[in-house]
Amino acid sequence: MIHPNPESPLNYLPPLQSQYDVIVIGGGPAGCTTAALVAEYGHSVLLLERAQLPRFHVGESLIPETYWPLKRLDLIDRLKQSAFPRKYSVQFVSDGVKESAPFYFERYNQHESSVTWQVNRGEFDQMLMDRARELGTIAHTSAHVTDVIFECTQAVGVKCRLLNEDGGRSEREIRCRVVVDATGQSAFISSRRGQRDADPMLKKGTIWTYWRGAHRDSGKDEGATLIMQTPGKKSWFWYIPLQDDVVSIGCTGGMKYLFDKDAGSVEAVYDRELTRCPAMQKRLVNATRCTDFFTTKDFSYYSREGAGNGWLLVGDAFGFIDPVYSSGVYLALKGGEFAADAIHDALQRSDLSGSRLGQWQPLYKQGIENFRKLVYAFYAENFSFGMFLKEHPQYKSNMVDILVGDVFKPGVGDIFDAMGALKPAMDMPLTRPAMA
Ligand SMILES: Cc1cc2nc3c(=O)[nH]c(=O)nc-3n(C[C@H](O)[C@H](O)[C@H](O)COP(=O)(O)OP(=O)(O)OC[C@H]3O[C@@H](n4cnc5c(N)ncnc54)[C@H](O)[C@@H]3O)c2cc1C
């Protein structure tokens, strides 16, 4: 990536060495955070990203706890100066109609971390990569990792295809002491090892697109995320207001329900669901769709092993749950922070075992579990958060903690003792085909 300012030191790429302390595969939030913080410790870091930056990516809504890893990266001032809309709250709508009162984060915590952002991921991820470079990471874009090199069980480097100055491609083999897989949903290492398990309860898909001119609430509510469930919890819409009057609006539902072969085109299904969501429809009366439709499915999965000798997984490469609570970027940033500390510790001790590199992962998995259980509750038939909190008001703070992302706090998961083991409703096509 050539930085927009030709004088920028970020444009200087030194010749590749044959060996680094750490190679990070993937330049999303997880990879850039890991690389930035490992480089800050003083280790040599090479980051390889297959795309040209800035690149398009779904996942635009941040949650308040992202503040802390972003502060450690010293990026809060840059975010404050950005054009990204401020997000003060989230608002839920049930049955496509009933709007609950907005949930303002600062009511529960009077700290500036309670105001977060709705980001354009191209620009946000570029900001993270720039920061990783400033801290000493050598970051190559258009650099596709094609293999991780193992000697016995030890990861010792990668094979990659790089873009040359003349536009040609060259294959390189580069060695390192630690390989970080931050390849997002590709989950490079666990996919190759057959260790990527889909969550059988969350077989969901999403159709999303971008609109201009959609209705926005005023004042502090202008940047709110709206989560609107349709009747019978068959699907839900996100509404994420972005800069330049653009709004990201996506519809998530069971894979059979959204992508059944008899359901028609993705546009027809999206329109079908919009008609089931009057609260969203009324926001689009004067809006124009400004992009094509995008789809993704079966995105909730876990990687069975999170680390091994000389390698570890971070961010979506480790696992992803569901977009409903906007937890993905936070987990990627926080995981990057955990991973960087563990890598520094491992390099200092010259102990590159999986247990040393993955020492943070048991706690991290507990945090993911807290999000997962709240996701299951969201999709469970006959469960209402409002009713639950009426009966168990003592758990309101636990719920708030999870919604803002404070999922690693001791005791936060106690709420699930009262909630019980809720399961998402079964995924069915809208109209079942007649029996032969
Ligand atoms: C439908 C949907 C909606 C979402 N909405 C939200 C939201 O509102 N808020 C939120 O916080 N999260 C959201 N997420 C989740 C969020 O997008 C991810 O959790 C987040 O991007 C994870 O960051 P990452 O760095 O792990 O992976 P990514 O951001 O995916 O980055 C991985 C990078 O690795 C690169 N790469 C992959 N393979 C290779 C290779 N072989 N060689 C080199 N580079 C490679 C890719 O090009 C990519 O840039 C959503 C997810 C989905 C599916």
Atom of ligand 1 nearest to the CA of 327: 11
Mean pLDDT for the stretch of residues 269-296: 97
pLDDT in the model for residue 9? 54
pLDDT at res. 153: 95
Name residues contacting ligand 1 (CB within 6 A).
25-31, 48-51, 57-61, 144-145, 182-186, 188, 206, 250, 296, 299, 315-317, 320, 323, 326, 328-330, 332
pLDDT value of residue 7: 54
Share of the chain above pLDDT 90, in %: 86
Ligand 1 site-directed mutation target among 329, 337, 372, most atoms within 8 Å of CB: 329
What are 219-231's pLDDT values in tens digits?
999 999 999 999 9
Residues 314-351 have pLDDT tens digits of 999 999 999 999 999 999 999 999 999 999 999 999 99
Between the CA of 36 and the centroid of ligand 1 the distance, in Å, is: 17
Q: Which of 104-108, 290-294, 385-389 has the highest mean pLDDT?
A: 290-294
Predicted pLDDT at 174: 97
Q: Tell me what percent of the residues of the chain surpass a pLDDT of 70.
A: 96
Q: What is the pLDDT of residue 96?
A: 86
Render pLDDT for 2-56 as a digit per residue (tens, 0 to 9): 455 555 655 567 788 999 999 999 999 999 999 999 999 999 999 999 999 999 9
Query: What pLDDT, on a 0 to 100 scale, did the predictor assign at position 1?
Result: 43
Mean pLDDT of 134-158: 97
Q: What per-residue confidence (pLDDT) applies to 14?
A: 77
Q: If you average pLDDT over every residue of the chain, what do you get?
A: 94
Mean pLDDT of 181-195: 96
| 3-state helix/strand/coil string of the chain | CCCCCCCCHHHCCCCCCCEEEEEEECCCHHHHHHHHHHHHCCCCEEEECCCCCCCCCCCCECCHHHHHHHHHCCCHHHHHHCCCCEECEEEEEECCCEECCCEEHHHCCCCHHHCEEECCHHHHHHHHHHHHHHCCCEEECCEEEEEEEEECCEEEEEEEEEECCCCCEEEEEEEEEEEEECCHHHCHHHHHCCCEEECCCCCEEEEEEEEECCCCCCHHHHHCEEEEECHHHCEEEEEEECCCCEEEEEEEEEHHHHHCHHHCCHHHHHHHHHHCCHHHHHHHCCCEECCCCEEEECCCEEECCCEECCEEECHHHCEECCHHHCCHHHHHHHHHHHHHHHHHHHHHHCCCCHHHHCCCHHHHHHHHHHHHHHHHHHHECCCCHHHHHHHCHHHHHHHHHHHHCCCCCCCHHHHHHHHCCCCECCCCCCCCCCCC
Joined together, the tokens standing for residue 136 give: 């000493």
Instruction: Give the C-alpha separation, 368 to 346, whole Å.
Output: 24
Closest ligand 1 atom number to CA of residue 208: 1
Average pLDDT estimate for 422-430:
84
Domains of the chain: 1-84+119-199+302-424 (3.50.50.60), 87-109+204-297 (3.30.9.100)
